[in-house]
Structures are given as structure tokens and as C-alpha cells.
Amino acid sequence: MLILSTQKLHRMELKIYPEAKALIFDLDGTLSDSLPVHIVSWHAVCKRLNCTFDERIMVEMTGAPTISFAERIVREQHLNMNPEELVALKQKEFWKNINQIKPHDAVIDLMKSAYGKMPMAIGTGASLKSATLQLKELEIDKLFDFIVTADDVERHKPEPDTFLKCAELMGVEPRYCQVFEDGELGMQAAQTAGMLLTDVRPFVTDPFNC
């Protein structure tokens, strides 16, 4: 009985830090369980192009914009096309399957508990259209004060620009912003920005088991 009580006492909780004055959420893999849909979409595109998609890329580059994935695939698969063309193909495939994404309930529940109490923003490596479609599909598109996407910054994660832009728009010093992230690149960005950081991976389903 004592062992069971100790386990309950030390159970991890997803929480907002007392010093946090604003919240910033990554989207893919944090609020949205979209990685399986991204993987299916990449496989479909690569099949049409007679090349292969290495799923390990998703682990290594989670948080990076789609153009970074495309540049790597074009280079490694020796494709005779511009990365921008590959991005267009992949995005169309992803948008077509947007209804297959699912919510990460633990993170969304926390976000909803803070709605109206402090400013909140999305800081994502997705394009504005991809982010908008996902948020609408999850029915949370009206709950954020600002959305900063890959279209809004020149330097993407692991650079801190995405999160610093969120802080600027919310009018809150970076040290009082709490970032919720699942990607290594995003976590590096939050730490470089001097923000509070929560790794959501223990609270969400990880398709890679890592």
C-alpha cells in the first residue's frame, strides 16, 4: 500500500508554472497528433516520385519547416526537382488527409484551462494554411491570441525567432513565457530564447516510441 501511495505522489503532471505569464504551444506533435498523417503523406508523394521516405527523418527534424524536409529528401534521394516543388506536392497530400489528425487531449485540456486567463500563442514550423486547417479540424482555432508560422520568420527552429516573435506579439518578456514542445529543435529554440520549457512527450502518444 505504501508503494502505491508513493507512485501516486510522484506521478508526473502537465502543469503551468507559477511564474508563467503567457503560454506558447508548438502544433504538430504537441497539440495535434499529426505525425502519422505527415508520414503517410510523405510516403504517398515519394511513391509517386519512385523514391523512398526514411521515417527517421521525422524523429531527427521534428519542428523544422517542410522546406527543410524537402531539401533533405531531394538531396538524399537525388531527385531532379526543386525542394519547393516537393513541398507543394507534400502539402497538397497532407491537406487532403487533414481530417485524419487527432488531438493530444492532455495538452489541449491544459490549454483550455488557461484560456481567457493569460495570453496564448502558437509557435509552429508549419505553414499558415497547414496550421489553420489543423486548428480548425481540432476545433481550437478561436482559442489563441496569435499564430506564428514558418511564413512569419526567416530563421526557423532551432533558432529562437519563432518563439521570440510570439513573446513580442503577446507583449510578455521571454523569461515569463512557457513553451510546450515535443521536438528537440523546438526545445533548443525555447531554451535559446530563455523561456520556460515543458517537454510534452511523456503526456502524448509518440508513434516512434522514443
Measured distance CA(197)–CA(183) in Å, rounded:
12
Q: Which of 26, 33, 161, 182 is catalytic?
A: 26
Label the pairing between strands 102-103 and 120-123: unpaired
8 A C-beta contact, residue 63 and residue 186: yes
Measured distance CA(183)–CA(201) in Å, rounded:
9
Asked about 105 being catalytic, the answer comes back as no
Which positions are annotated as active-site residues?
Answer: 26
